[in-house]
Amino acid sequence: MSISKWMMAIVVGLGMITAGHAHAATYPSKDVRIVCWSAAGASLDVTARTLATELEKVWGETTIVENRVGGSGAVAMAYAMSQPADGYVLLTTTSSLSFTVAKGTIPFKVEDFIMLRAVEAEPSALAVRKDSPLKTLDDFVKTMKSTSGSLRVGGYASAGFHQFTYYKLQQLGGFSGHWVPFDGGNQAVAALLGGHLDAAIITPSSALAQIESGDIRILGISTAERSPFFPQAPTMAEQGYDIVEYLWRGLMVKKGTPKETIDIINAAIDKAVSGEKWQAYMKNRCLEKVSYASEELTKKTIDEVSERKAFLKDIGLIR
């Protein structure tokens, strides 16, 4: 063959390689959907929608949120798994994933997904009414011990994040108590305000209005250090109860999504959350910043699963 033909072959070859890369680099080239496993209006949904709006600004493609409620997330997960792993279907995820997987009731494992980012988090807080005689976490623990657990405590969900926090408190404080589960954080707060509960374990966003007005006091909050949003709320750790837990919320994709796409998505998320609008949202809802990177998040979730399993066994939910 002549030199010119070789040249042509090389040029065509190079062309094909770059074309391949060019295809990956054009993600996203159509609508991106974020599938949310909670109902419209819930905290996770609002985060998803706000994030979607910001992502749309970053990459210029329509980004919408689809609510697919059911099965503690299984319905949304099943849907995401039924779609191609091309990065156009993102799935919301929260730290409750580890609970659901630990319960063993859904046909998925953490390893079926690739965690992208956690974009915000909330701590758990032990809250009482302003007229309560309890002033510190020690007061609470002492009262529970001396009255053998007679204080009425409750919060959102059974065998979930807040009951887990309570469980840890019981272990560290050396007392045992009953957990009264409610269908929503708001309901637990309403029960607390109405005098039906003595204390509630909630994410602060369930009672922002009351915390600000002082109708509700936080005895202990599960952040590592005092939260800038609730400076009067002592952390559980500083009071001697080493409980540092966050309910984080973020995104994940189906396993098998190409690395280049994942990198693009992660970069876009990072850009979106550093923007003004997002920062304002976090401030408005008193959401804490988190900075878990992809692999770290995956590892953390997998570790959490075994921790949750021990908890679930103790409360008699699984064998």
**Chain residues in the site for another protein (CB under 8 A):** 39-42, 45-46, 49-50, 53, 64, 66-72, 74-75, 78-79, 103, 105-107, 150, 152, 154, 157-159, 178-183, 186-187, 189-191, 193-197, 207-210, 212-213, 280-281, 284-285, 315-317
Buried/exposed 22-47: b ≥16 CB within 10 Å, e otherwise: eeeeebbeeebbbbbbbeeebbbbbb
Q: How far is the CB of 316 from another protein (least distance, A)?
A: 5
Q: How far is the CB of 102 from another protein (least distance, A)?
A: 11
Q: How far is the CB of 237 from another protein (least distance, A)?
A: 28
Nearer to another protein, 189 or 236 (CB): 189
Q: From CA 287, how far away is CA 204, in angstroms rounded?
A: 9
Q: How far is the CB of 181 from another protein (least distance, A)?
A: 6
Quick check: helix, strand or coil at residue 316? coil
Bridge partners (DSSP) of residue 128 are 217
Nearer to another protein, 41 or 231 (CB): 41
Nearer to another protein, 92 or 294 (CB): 92
Tokens of 113: 């997904």
Bridge partners (DSSP) of residue 115 are 252
Nearer to another protein, 46 or 128 (CB): 46
Nearer to another protein, 200 or 264 (CB): 200
Q: From CA 23, how far away is CA 16, in angstroms rounded?
A: 11
Q: At what angle do helices 96-103 and 294-314 cross, to 10 degrees?
A: 50
Q: How far is the CB of 149 from another protein (least distance, A)?
A: 8
Q: How do beta strands 89-94 and 246-254 pair?
A: antiparallel
